[in-house]
Structure 1
Amino acid sequence: MRILGMDAGSVAVSVVETDGDGVILREEYRFHNGHPRDALRTVIAEWSALEAGFSGWTSITASRSAAPYVLSPDLIADDHVAVMTAAKRLHGRIGSLLSIGGEKFGLFSWSGEGEYRSFKGNTSCAAGTGGFLDQQAERLGLSCAAELSALADSNVKEAPKIATRCAVFAKTDLTHAQQEGFSLDSIADGLSRGLAGNLLDVLLDGKPPAEPFIICGGVALNKAVVKHIADLTDTNPIVDDSAPLYGAMGASWALLEQEESLKENTRIRTDASEIIGAQSEVNLEKGFRYPPLTLKKSSYPDFSSYDSWEVPVEGRKGRYPVEVEIFEKLPTAGNATLGIDIGSTSTKAVLISEGGKVLLGLYTRTAGRPVEAMKGLLMALEIALEKHGPEIEVLACATTGSGRKLVGEILGADLILDEITAHARAAVHLDEEVDTIIE
C-alpha cells in the first residue's frame, strides 16, 4: 500500500508518501506563489517520473484545504484533525501544539491525562502569521521571509521594538527604526520578537503553554521566532524537521486508522492528471449598480513633460531605476533649491528655481533603504543637470517624509520639515484659497 497525502496552505503545499505502516517514503514542502493546484500537480508528476516502472498510489488523502484540487480522494481529513493526528503519532504525549502558518495560527491544548481540551486561533487579521513576515521582508527589500529569518537569527545587537499587531503600525515602526540607524539584522530580529509576542498575547492570555510544547507550520522553520517564543514562555519548544508537513502527514495517517473500511474502495493512480483536477474555467460577468464616474467639474492636470528617462543605479541588492522628469526646458545657469521627500514606500525629489518654479522631478522606491534611495536620486540629479542645466547651482536643501531626520542629518539639510506642513505649504503655493487636501 502506498498512500499519497496532501495539504495546501495559503503560501505553500506539502505532500507526503507513506507505506502501509505509515512510514514516510517521500516528502515535499513547496511554495506555490498563489497557484496551489499547479504546485501539487508538479510535485506528483516529478515523483512519478523519478521511479522507473512506477506502480502508482493505492490511496489518495487530502486535508480539507487541499481537497478542492484533488479528484475523488479516499479520505478528506479536517485540517485540525490532520495536524493533531500527525503530532500525536510523532510525539506521543502532548501538552500543547502551536501551529503557525502563512495565514493562520492556533494553539491546541490537551489535559494532563492526554485528552484533547481546546483550540484557540487568530482572527482574520494576518498579524502574527508567516504572510505577515513575507510582507515585512518585502518592505525591507529582502527576497523572502527565509532571508529575514536568517538575518534575525544572526543578530547580536539590540533589537528595536516593532509593533506587529498590525501591518500599518509595523510599517511605521520599521521606518522609525531605520531612521534611528538600526541595522537590518536588528530590525529583522525586532520583527521576529514582535511577531512571537503578538501571537502569544492572542493565544495564551499570560499563561504558559502546557508542556511538552510543540510548534509546527511553516513559521516553525524561523529559528528567531521560535527562540523568542521560548524566551517569552520560559519553555523549551519542540520543533522537528517535518514541522511544515503536519497537515499532509496527518491526512495520510488518518487514512491508516480507517484502512480496513476504505481498503476495498481504493484504486491505483499513477498519473498527476488522475489525482489533481484541471483548473475550472468560470466566466463571471461583473455587474455594476451605479454608472461610472465622469470628469465634469474638475480639470485634470497635464502630466506631459519636456523630457523623461530612467537612470539605472547600482544598489546593495542590484540595480534599481530612478525616474527623471524635466517639466520644461531648463535654463543653462541659475540657482535652485532641492526638496526631498523620503517616504516609507517611495522617495521623491524636486528641484525648484529661485522663482518657485518646479524644474525637474525624481522618483524611486525606498525599499527599506532610505539612504541608498537618497544616493540614487542625487546620482540621477547630477546626470540630469549635466545634460540639461550644467551651470545650475543647488544652494539649499530641505527634507520631509518619514525618513527626513536621517537623510536630513546626512545631507546637512537647511530645513527638516514634517510632511503635513510640507503638504500645506505646497497646496497654498498652488492655490491660496485651498481648504482641504486629500492624499
Structure 2
Amino acid sequence: MKKIKPKWKALFYTLMVFCLLSCKNETKIEQLPGSEVKQLQLKYAEGFSVSEYNDYKVITVSKPWPKSEKTYTYLVASKDALSKMTFPKDAYDGVIVNPIENIVVTSTTHIPSLELLGVEEKLVGFPGTDYISSEKTRQRIDKGLVRELGKNEGINTEVLLEINPNLVVGFGVDGANKTFETIKKANIPVIYHGGWVESSALGKAEWIKFFGVLYNKEKEADSIFNKIEKDYQDAKALAKNATTKPSVLSGAMTKDVWHLPNGNSPEAQFLKDANVNYLWSDTDGNGSLYQSFEAVLDKAKDADIWLSPSYYRSLKQMKDANPLYTNFDAFKSREVYSFTNAVGATGGNLYYELGAARPDLILKDIIKITHPELLEDYKPYFFKKFED
C-alpha cells in the first residue's frame, strides 16, 4: 500500500477538522442529543405542523399562501432555554420568545383564537381596527389598549416599533409584503398564519392549535377544537334526518360574471353537510366557479333558497344593482339569506371574523334556514333573511 507523504497527511487532517467544525456549525438545534420530540396532533389542518421538544418547539408553516414554494420554520422557546442554545443565525425564519406578553395580529380571523384561549389582553396593535367586530376586543380598542396600525399591506411601522410587540402574526398572498421585512430587521419576529388557505372548514378552525403552541396552551386549544368539531359533526348528523332537500343557489354577478362556490370548496361542503341540493355540487375545484347569467338562470330559476348573494344587504339593493335578479323564484318568494348584515359597531363583518373559527355555527345557520324544523329553538348567528 502506498504511503501518504507527511505534507499531504497534514493537509488531510486539516481538511477533516475543518469539515467537522463546519458540520457542527451547521447543525440545527433539533439535532441536539437528549431532546425527545413529538408531533402536535392535527386532524384536518394541512398548512402547518409542530415538533415539540423538551425545551422548545418548532413550528413549520408549509402553506402560508396558495402555491407557496417556500416552507417557513420558527423556533419557540423561553428566554432561559434560548440562553443555553446555539444554532446558525439563518437556521429559522423567526425565533419567538415565550411567554408572549404583547402581540400584533393582522387578520380579524386571528381575533377569535386569542379570545377562545383567553389571551385577548395580549393584543396591542392591529391594522384596520374598524374591521374588528368582537365586542370584547372593541372595548379594548375604545380604551386605547389596541393601537391602530393602518393597513396590512402598509403597516405603520413607526407605531408598531413604538409598541414593540414580542411577535407579529402576519398573512400574505404572495410573500411580497416589504413591511414584514422592515419589522424583522427591527428584531421583531414575524410568523405567517396560513389558516385561510386550508381547503376544509374544520381545517381552518384547527389553526387555533397554532396559537395554542405560541401561548403554551396546547391542551386548551385541543379541547376547544374538539368541542367545535363535535358540534359540527352533531349538526351534520342531525341534517341527515331532514325529510326534504331544498335546492340552493348562491353568489351573484360581478360585472358580467356570476361567482359561485365550486363543488369542492368549503362553502359547498357546508351545503353538502346541511343536506341540501346545491345545484353546482358536482363541479370540481376549491375556489370560485364562474358562470354567465344565462347559465345560472337556466339552472337555478326555480331554486328554493338563495344564499350569500355577494355583498348585497337587501332585496332592494339587489334589484337596483341588477333588475335581472328578480327573475329567480327565490327572489320573488323572498327566500334570500346572507351574512352581510351581521356587523360590529364599526361595520366589521362578524362572519369574516368568527366564521373560520366556528364552522359549527355556520353549519347550524344553514340547517336552520333550509330545515327549520330540525333546530326549532336555534337563532342564526351569521345569516339573516333579507326583508326588503
Q: TM > 0.5 between the two?
A: no
TM-score by length of 1: 0.25
TM-score by length of 2: 0.27
* The structure with more radius of gyration: 1
